[in-house]
Amino acid sequence: MSYTNEQVSHLIEGTLDWETVFRMLSMPKDHTRFEQYRDALQTKVTFKDRIVLPLSPHMYIVQTVNAKKWVVKCDCGHEFCDYRENWKLHAVIYVRDTEEAMTEVYPKLMAPDVSWQVYREYYCPTCGVMHDVEAPTPWYPVIHDFEPDIETFYKDWIGLPVPERA
């Protein structure tokens, strides 16, 4: 199975027809998907840095153009931090820990009791896009979701050369 770059970019936009999406879901993954996917994302962003790994719908680990450093970046261009750090600690955080704040997003009595669960929303300081929401107990530390082993992923999983890293 293989797909065109156009199909992959429709996949990202959410405009790919269901038959093709279904085939993609149910067939073994095509070998070139990651490259095609990464390249399609690259054409959508305005910065020149190369995307190493997408993290979320608006967030990537990129290789900076000149310094070749790997950093976490928002698609508006805002740079968060080194890819090994927890980017959430560099985001704008809004914590819903009152009943009033909860009823903004859920009907009364259908939201959690804030004494045992709160929502923490993480926004980009530059463009204000919401990157993540976590729903922990109030005392819980900020969660570091994901520490990808990019070298292994490139070398052993998809068989591509690892991008240079300073």
Partner 1 sequence: MGQQNIPVQVLGIDAGGTMTDTFFVRADGRFVVGKAQSNPGDESLAIYNSSVDALAHWNRKVEDVYPELVTCVYSGTAMLNRILMRKGLKVGLLCNRGFEQIHSMGRALQSYLGYALEDRIHLNTHRYDEPLVPVSRTRGVTERTDVQGSIVIPVREAEVRQATRELVAAESQAIVICFLQSHKNETSEQIARDFVKDELKKLGSPIPVFASVDYYPSRKESHRMNTVILEAYGAEPSRETLKKVSDRFKANGAKFDLRVMATHGGTISWKAKELARTIVSGPIGGVIGAKLLGECLGDENIACSDIGGTSFDVALITKGSFAIKSDPDMARLVLSLPLVAMDSVGAGAGSFVRLDPYSKSIKLGPDSAGYRVGTCWPESGLDTVTVSDCHVVLGYLNPLNFLGGAIKLDVERARQHIKAQIADPLGLSIEDAAAGVIELLDLTLSEYLRANISAKGYNPAEFTCFSYGGAGPVHTYGYTEGVGFKDVVVPAWAAGFSAFGCACADFEYRYDKSVDLGLPENASDAAKAGACKTLQEAWSELATKVIDEFVINGFKPEDVLLIPGYKMQYMGQLNDLEIVSPVTSASKAEDWNKIVDAFELQYTRVYASSARSPELGFSVTGAILRGTVATQKPVLPEDANAGPTPPAAAKLGTRPFYRHKKWVDAVIYKMESLLAGNHIVGPAIIESDSTTFVVPNGFETTIDKHRLFHLKEVK
Applying CB under 8 A, the residues found at the interface with partner 1 are: 18, 22-23, 25-26, 28
- Consecutive H or E run containing 33: helix 33-44
Question: Nearest approach, Cβ of 91 to partner 1 (angstroms)?
Answer: 29
Structure tokens at 118: 């709160």
CB of 33 closer than 8 Å to CB of 25: no
- Consecutive H or E run containing 45: none
Cα 130 to chain centroid distance, Å, stands at: 11
C-beta of 28 vs 107, nearer to partner 1? 28
C-beta of 26 vs 43, nearer to partner 1? 26
Q: Is 42 helix (H, G, I), strand (E, B) or coil?
A: helix
C-beta of 24 vs 81, nearer to partner 1? 24
Question: Nearest approach, Cβ of 157 to partner 1 (angstroms)?
Answer: 13
Question: Nearest approach, Cβ of 53 to partner 1 (angstroms)?
Answer: 21
DSSP string, 104-160: TTS-TTSS--TTT--EEEEE-TTT--EEEEE---TTPPPP------HHHIIIIIS--
Question: Nearest approach, Cβ of 158 to partner 1 (angstroms)?
Answer: 13
C-beta of 24 vs 76, nearer to partner 1? 24
